[in-house]
């Protein structure tokens, strides 16, 4: 295997490594999710250059004997400084990173594309609202993970949904379903997906991400779909997500 590698990647996690270095977790288009040691990222040549949520081209050194990676250099494509300057966007990006690390599945190129586009949108104050970016990210991540929900017919009994039918949810299957096949109590509305929300999801699924985040939703609809997606995310991640603890999301 090549010792020097070049890959497009996103920084999902960064932690101190001694006094001088940082250990970063990258979502790489070619290598999947990897840890890489960034020598001198705290004090030295790479200092201040490998920030959280940065998207860029990474020049890595791979030690095939130990199986580990080191960052030699980076060429940023999205610096993500607006994300880090805005507390709410910062929370959303942290949530996205945590969810990806919990799910650890799916095609690495598709995952990189989704992450890099979402961070680029989140870093640009003009593009969509933070809420629609979050909604679209979760929905598309579910699809990248191979759990694409069927919004046309119930995946359990195969009955096609009516136009005005509200969908229920089967937590064991990790999927929306009809009311008869549901295994969660949806009487409080928590995992119910109304016909308007279903239309929105079906419509935006066919659009490129940057267009989908621009599709306008009412404030009430946004709030309802946002909460639905956050609950959906915790069900498929199989447990409590740390970054869901804050109300800022
Ligand atoms: Zn059913």
Is 112 found in the same domain as 29?
A: no
Residues in the 5 Å CB sphere of ion ligand 1: 154, 156-157, 178, 181
How far separated are the first and last CA of the chain, in Å rounded? 42
Residue 126 and residue 207 in one domain: yes
One domain for residues 25 and 91? no
Q: Looking at the structure, do residues 120 and 238 belong to the same domain, yes or no? A: yes
- What's the 105 CA to ligand 1 centre distance in angstroms? 27
Domain that holds residue 87: 82-244
pTM for the whole structure? 0.92
Using the mean position of ligand 1's atoms as its centre, give its distance from the Cα of residue 34 in Å. Answer: 40
Residues 140 and 228 in one domain: yes
pLDDT of 15 above 90: yes
Highest mean pLDDT among 22-36, 80-94, 234-248: 22-36
Among residues 12, 190, 208, the alpha carbon closest in space to that of 95 is found at 12
User: For 188, which DSSP code?
Assistant: T
Distance 154 CA to ligand 1 centre (A): 5
Domain total in the chain: 2
- Structure tokens that stand for 23 in this block: 């250990």
Give strand ranges (E) for 39-163.
55-63, 68-78
For residue 131, being part of any structural domain is answered with yes
Looking at the fold, whether 127 and 192 belong to one and the same domain comes out as yes
249: in domain: no
Domain-embedded: residue 102: yes
Is pLDDT above 90 for 208?
yes
Instruction: Band the pLDDT of 176: cuts 50, 70, 90.
Output: very high
Helix (H) / strand (E) containing 35: strand 32-38
One domain, residues 110 and 230: yes
The whole-number pLDDT of residue 132 equals: 94
Q: Are residues 90 and 74 in the same domain?
A: no
d(CA 48, CA 63): 25
């Amino acid at each position: 295997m090549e010792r020097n590698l070049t890959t497009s990647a996103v920084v999902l996690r960064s932690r101190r490594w001694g006094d001088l270095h940082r250990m970063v977790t990258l979502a790489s288009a070619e290598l999947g999710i990897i840890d890489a040691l960034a020598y001198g990222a705290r004090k030295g040549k790479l200092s201040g250059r490998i920030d959280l949520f940065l998207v860029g081209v990474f020049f890595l050194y791979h030690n095939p004997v130990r199986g580990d990676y080191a960052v030699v250099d980076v060429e940023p494509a999205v610096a993500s400084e607006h994300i880090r300057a805005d507390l709410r966007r910062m929370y959303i990006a942290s949530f996205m990173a945590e969810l990806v690390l919990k799910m650890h599945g799916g095609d690495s190129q598709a995952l990189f594309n989704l992450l890099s586009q979402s961070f680029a949108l989140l870093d640009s104050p003009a593009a969509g609202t933070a809420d629609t970016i979050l909604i679209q990210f979760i929905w598309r991540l579910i699809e990248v993970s191979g759990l694409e929900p069927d919004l046309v017919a119930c995946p359990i009994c195969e009955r096609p949904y009516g136009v005005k039918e509200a969908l229920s949810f089967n937590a064991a299957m990790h999927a929306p379903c009809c009311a008869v096949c549901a295994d969660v109590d949806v009487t409080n509305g928590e995992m119910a997906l109304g016909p308007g929300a279903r239309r929105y999801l079906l419509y935006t699924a066919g659009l490129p991400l940057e267009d989908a985040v621009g599709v306008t939703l009412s404030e009430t609809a946004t709030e309802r779909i946002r909460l639905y997606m956050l609950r959906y995310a915790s069900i498929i991640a199989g447990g409590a997500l740390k970054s869901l603890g804050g109300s800022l999301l």
